[in-house]
């Protein structure tokens, strides 16, 4: 039993070291949730393209690094009927898919990627001349 705990502790330590020294966003599967770290700053999200498999529970941890922003996620795939069933399913308690991002405060956004397709996201807080370019996409693969 002691070896198991030692192995878990070593694995966690290695993940923390790699994540702390990496300039690439941390993506880690934890149980049934895929965790993805996203930054928001004038005039971009990083990463601006997120890829997941259909059926995956996703947790985005989004942090605005320079000022207040937001992330508005369209739950309907591009080119689909907005009156149909959304391809990204948020919890029933979520009534809107626009999340405010106060400066330097991590905000978690969870959803299940139900249907394959490309889903747009953007900032909904005007942040300057390049604001219209602050967007990205979630690509749900079959």
Domain segments of the chain: what residues?
Answer: 24-141
> For residue 5, what pLDDT band results from cuts at 50, 70 and 90?
very low
CA distance 52 to 88: 11
Summarize pLDDT for 69-128 with one digit per residue, the tens: 999 999 999 999 888 899 999 988 888 899 999 999 999 999 999 999 999 999 999 988
- Residues 24-141: name the CATH superfamily: Cupredoxins -  blue copper proteins (2.60.40.420)
Starting at the edge strand found earlier in the chain, the sheet holding 117-122 runs 49-53, 135-141, 117-122, 69-73, 98-101
Summarize pLDDT for 24-59 with one digit per residue, the tens: 333 444 458 999 999 999 999 999 999 999 999 999
Strand-strand pairing, 69-73 and 98-101: antiparallel
Beta strands in 18-84 (DSSP E): 27-30, 33-41, 44-46, 49-53, 56-64, 69-73
């Amino acid at each position: 039993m002691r070896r198991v705990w030692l192995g878990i502790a070593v694995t966690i330590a290695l993940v923390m070291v790699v994540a702390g020294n990496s300039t690439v966003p941390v993506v880690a599967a934890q149980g049934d949730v895929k965790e993805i770290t996203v930054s928001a700053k004038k005039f971009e999200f990083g990463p601006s393209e997120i890829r997941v498999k259909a059926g995956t529970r996703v947790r985005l941890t989004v942090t605005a690094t320079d000022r207040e922003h937001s992330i508005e996620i369209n739950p309907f795939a591009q080119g689909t009927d907005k009156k149909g069933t959304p391809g990204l399913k948020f919890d029933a308690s979520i009534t809107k898919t626009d999340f405010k991002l106060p400066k330097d405060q991590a905000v978690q956004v969870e959803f299940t990627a139900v249907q394959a397709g490309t889903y747009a996201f953007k900032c909904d807080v005007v942040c300057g001349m390049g604001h219209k370019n602050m967007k990205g996409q979630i690509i749900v693969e079959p």
